[in-house]
Amino acid sequence: AQTVTQSQPEMSVQEAETVTLSCTYDTSESNYYLFWYKQPPSRQMILVIRQEAYKQQNATENRFSVNFQKAAKSFSLKISDSQLGDTAMYFCAFSGNQFYFGTGTSLTVIP
């Protein structure tokens, strides 16, 4: 069975600094996708970044980038130049034959 593990329940970062959120997963599938979703307080869950497992190049989206280590089954999210609007719950997710979420990391950006 697939599992997605986020070992950091809560994190904080100073505004303008960089923070990395960790995620590991377990699967026997060879073709899959990985995602980071952001859910601001009382707001809609939105996609931050997507990584195709067959691509070696790490995905980037503006201030957001991932470190995808397929052999290690690791998929961390780096947020550069953190902004107050980045305060949210962040969920790592796996999509193969089914879709699985991690338990989330609550990130607080401190002014």
Give 7 or 18: the residue with its C-beta nearer to another protein.
7
Give 16 or 45: the residue with its C-beta nearer to another protein.
45
Q: Are strands 105-110 and 10-14 parallel, antiparallel or unpaired?
A: parallel
- Per CB under 8 A, 26 contacts another protein: no
Q: What's the rounded Cα separation, in Å, for the pair 26 and 35?
A: 14
Contact present, 15 and 105 (Cβ < 8 Å): no
Q: What's the rounded Cα separation, in Å, for the pair 70 and 51?
A: 11
Give the number of other Cβ atoms within 10 Å of residue 14's Cβ. Answer: 11
Fill in the DSSP letter of residue 24.
E
Q: Which of 46, 60, 84, 110 binds another protein (CB under 8 A)?
A: 46
- Per CB under 8 A, 60 contacts another protein: no
- Two structure tokens written together for 63: 């201030």
- Per CB under 8 A, 50 contacts another protein: yes
The nearest distance, CB 70 to another protein, in angstroms, is 17
Q: Which of 28, 30, 44, 56 binds another protein (CB under 8 A)?
A: 44
Q: Which among 17-25, 45-53, 68-76, 79-87 is the span making contact with another protein, rule CB under 8 A?
A: 45-53
